[in-house]
Amino acid sequence: MISGDFMLYPQLNEKRLLISLNGIWDFALGGEELETDKLINPLTDAKRLYVPASYNDQQADIALRDHYGWAYYQRRFSVPESVGENRLVLRFGAVAHACAVFLNGKEIASHVGGFLPFEAELDCRLLQASNLLAVAVDNRINYSTLPVGNEGSAMFGSGAPDFESVRKTKLKPQNYPNFDFFNYCGINRPVSLYTTPAEYISDVTVTTELSQGSARVLVCAVLSGEGEAQVSLLDKDGNELASGKAGDELIIDNPVLWQPNAAYLYTAKISFKNDCYYQKFGVRSVEVRGNQFLINGKPFYFKGFGKHEDSEIHGRGLDETLNVKDISLMKWLGANSFRTSHYPYSEEMLNLCDEEGIVVIAETPAVGLNSKSYKNTIAAHRGVIEDMIARDKNHPSIVMWSLANEPNTEEAEAYNYFMPLYELAHKCDPQNRPVTVVVSNNDYVKDRVAPAMDVICANRYYGWYIFAGNLDAAAQAMAAELDYFERFSKPFILTEYGADTISGIHSAVPNMFSEEFQAEYYDAVNAVLDKYSFVIGEHAWNFADFQTIQGILRADGNKKGVFTRERRPKLAAHYFRNRWRGIPDFDYKK
């Protein structure tokens, strides 16, 4: 069965055991129909692949890269006798996009959605000395999935045939994404076993409120079992500052605030019978007031990027070394923030942002929505908003929720689609963070959704897709758009803008695709942004080059990165380093 108590990040402590199932697994490709025998019996002629990681690039095999349909993973594991009578849970950090999980020939879980965790409590009666764990993964995308797929054709000049041509010629089906990043799939995040006592803590919510030099802290716990939980608040060095029952208001005098690029984390220790859990949290406030975005009561300016979980070989799989490198490069640049474009990122990355003081706009995987998909995606969209916020509600690094990226928001149905989701996000979030939708309509005066959000977030490519190469026209068009959005008296963030740039191409007279053009492009647009007080952020697209579907507009992927895919800086990285190190995190535009 699937357990609903899956939002706590698994941890090893004095009451809980944590066992990693990461490593080399057996793997085999399948077809369009689920083959149950590959979940019950050991795979024959299996490949050997690493988990967690996308399967697409792990071997020099076009069948893996361009696979369509089901794929199968298997590994064996044993359970230590020390587990005893404890509850034993199998947890997957993320499997893209849909999956079925079998243990010793019995189905124990299924899940849809490739970017959030799920788990199953194991029935000890199913366990043996050596247990066969099998996972079937379906990578297909369509009008009902998040992210959205095209049913028969693809975007961005890929040269893919239309649906009728596919039908007539009986071509082998493929995934045609309605999004501009590669459809990396597989077991992308960690797999683990963890234990709890029979009566346990299943969820923890921490909220804080600043008042007259003190912080009021409320720690609420959901318990499986009768009784009350006890709470201790600990400082960074482990010293107890306050204690009481879960649900009591606890006070921290003279708290150290969690600040961008100056993080400070407290820990709430929650104890319940023979179980305990340690939840880190930050004391900080977030508020939209007029055309300002306030963190701890001060006007914050977003400097940073749209980003992807994307790297050579790993694909979209968790790479903690790369996460550490990326955060260090952001700090080298003077950046303070990024958006999890276009899906919830790993818990490991968010934990790192909490520790390092990086501000995050957390986004759902609702990318590619249009009039063809609205009626099919609403249930999944509601579910992913609820699950994302439930998973990530305690992260101080997250200051805003993004419901979607670049949907069609010109039509009345878009407003009717998004406003209930906007209200749902506010209802689900115990911290009531601001909520946005990232829009991109070229005819922006017809946009029905952006002005209704707490913060207006827009992607705009004047000088690249529009007025290609003409930076004077780009600056004029950007100014005209900002003149329009200024009338709504809300904060505005330019959440994407950029130019494809091939590393190593240089030009004395800046031309498109050269490093010089990319730097001058950003300088031209930023000069406009600096003139408007309601513009409270700039997120360049993209942090690093990333892989996409093949196409005539994509030379080995999207090359809009300020860094190469290998994290080598382009000229624009040095431009932003000079710019951002001169722009303070707070009070940039008084």
- Does position 416 have pLDDT exceeding 50, yes or no? yes
Span 382-403, average pLDDT: 97
pLDDT interval class at 550 (50, 70, 90): confident
For residues 504 and 516, give the distance between their C-alpha atoms in angstroms, rounded to a whole number: 10
Catalytic residue among 410, 481, 496, 515: 496
348 is annotated as an active-site residue? no
- Does the structure show a pLDDT above 90 at 245? yes
Quote the pLDDT of residue 157.
46
Strands 302-306 and 535-540 turn out to be parallel
Q: What is the percentage of the chain residues whose pLDDT exceeds 90?
A: 86
- Residue 383: pLDDT above 50? yes
- As given in the structure block, the two tokens for residue 571 are 């000229």
Q: Which residue matches tokens 């026209």?
A: 473
**What is the pLDDT, as a whole number, of residue 438?**
98
Dump pLDDT digits (tens) for 173-202: 888 888 889 999 999 999 999 999 999 999
**Mean pLDDT (whole number) for 79-102:** 93
CA–CA separation, 28 vs 70, rounded Å?
A: 9
Q: Average the pLDDT over each of 84-88, 297-301, 452-456, 516-520 and give the range with the smallest value.
A: 84-88
Mean pLDDT of 122-131: 86
**Is the confidence at residue 372, as pLDDT, over 90?**
no
- Indicate the range of 129-133, 149-153, 177-181 predicted with least confidence: 149-153
HSE-up (13 A, CA, CB side) for residue 64: 19
Structure tokens at 515: 């490093």
Cα–Cα distance measured from residue 189 to residue 53, given in angstroms and rounded to the nearest whole number: 7
Q: What is the mean pLDDT of residues 425-431?
A: 97
Task: Please give the C-alpha separations between residue 206 and each of 281, 355, 394, 430, 431, in angstroms, as whole numbers.
Answer: 7, 17, 6, 8, 9
pLDDT tens per residue, range 218-239: 999 999 999 999 999 999 999 9
Q: Please, which residues have CB within 8 angstroms of residue 476's CB and are 6 or more apart in sequence?
A: none
> What pLDDT is attached to residue 167?
58
Q: What is the pLDDT of residue 175?
A: 84
Q: What percent of the chain has pLDDT over 70?
A: 95
What pLDDT shows up at residue 6? 54
Cα-Cα end-to-end distance for the chain = 55
**Residue 130: partners with Cβ closer than 8 Å, 6 or more residues away:** 76, 77, 78
Q: Which two tokens stand for residue 98?
A: 């849909």
* pLDDT value of position 589: 83
The helix (H) or strand (E) run that includes residue 571 is helix 571-580
pLDDT of residue 247: 94
Q: Which of 119, 347, 363, 406 is catalytic?
A: 406
Sheet with strand 214-224: strands edge to edge: 200-211, 214-224, 249-253
* Per-residue pLDDT at 162 exceeds 90: no
Mean pLDDT of the chain: 93
Q: What is the pLDDT of residues 307-347, one digit of tens each?
A: 999 999 999 999 999 999 999 999 999 999 999 999 999 99
For the chain, give the longest Cα–Cα distance.
Answer: 73
Q: What is the pLDDT of residue 427?
A: 97
Element (H, E) at 532: none
What residues contact 201, with CB distance under 8 A and at least 6 apart?
8, 221, 222, 223, 224, 229, 270, 272, 275, 276, 277
- What pLDDT is recorded for position 124? 79
CB 397 within 8 A of CB 360: yes
Pairing relation of β-strands 398-405 and 435-439?
parallel
Question: Residue 495 CB: number of other CB atoms within 10 A?
Answer: 31
Structure tokens, 136: 């079937």
Six-digit token pair at 354? 């909490």
Q: Which amino acid, one-letter code, is at 118? A: F
- The per-residue pLDDT for range 3-29, each reduced to its tens digit, is 344 579 999 999 999 999 999 999 999
* Confidence at 161, pLDDT banded by 50, 70, 90: low
Token pair of 480 as six digits: 């005209």
| Confidence (pLDDT) at 555 | 86
Average pLDDT over residues 105-116: 96
Sequence letter at residue 199: E
pLDDT at 2 over 70: no
Q: List the beta strands (DSSP E) in 440-506.
A: 456-459, 492-496
Annotated active-site residue 81? The verdict is: no
Question: Which residue is it, tokens 């995050």?
Answer: 360
d(CA 20, CA 588): 45
From 256, 136, 144, select the one nearest 208 (Cα to Cα): 256
